[in-house]
Amino acid sequence: MDDQFNRVRIAARLAAAWLSNPRTVATAESITDILSSVHAGLLGIEERARRERDTDAVPTYVPAVSVRQSLASPTRIISMIDGKPYATLRRHLAAHGLTPAAYRARYNLKPDYPMVAPALTEQRRAVAVRNGLGRPRGEPAIAEAPAEPVVAAPKRRKLTLALKG
């Protein structure tokens, strides 16, 4: 009963505020119509808010590709958000406001689902081993000779034109 009384009171205040505008022209018969339309509007707003509250608050996300397709290529991981290939998903997820854990939760992925393509992981591992990361203290880093000799590019000469005049 209190809710209905408050709704009527709010509708009366809104209608009074609208009618107090000097440019509003209303007859005595139209005042009840205005009051009832404001009251009906308030009821509609409450009903929409109630329906939104009652609906499932957790949205369901449909992946763009399957898990198998997303991991099919060793050089790229295909995003389940937009179906585009990426070497690493971290920036892509950050652009969509997600963390790797939230991405895995959204699409029901296992905790060990990779965020970096296997080829890039292997490339990073090879660089780390070559630089001596992960070795015991005192053991020297692996020194590999470059595959091709480094040749300096020829220097460019500056060409100047002399104008006769």
Percentage of the chain with pLDDT > 70? 82
User: pLDDT averaged over the chain?
Assistant: 83
Nearest residue to 80 via CA among 42, 43, 108, 52: 108
* Residue located via tokens 């393509």: 117
Count of helices and strands (H, E) across the chain: 6, 2
SS3 86: strand
**CATH number assigned to the domain with residue range 59-135, chosen from the 4 options 1.20.120.330, 3.40.190.10, 2.40.110.10, 1.10.10.1550:** 1.10.10.1550
Q: What is the pTM of this model?
A: 0.51
Q: How confident is the model over 49-67, as a mean pLDDT?
A: 80
More confident residue, 105 or 34: 105
Q: How confident is the model over 112-124, as a mean pLDDT?
A: 94
Neighbouring C-beta atoms of residue 139, cutoff 10 Å? 8
Residues of the chain with CATH 1.10.10.1550: 59-135
Please report the beta strands in the chain, taking only residues with DSSP state E, as ranges in sequence order.
77-78, 85-86
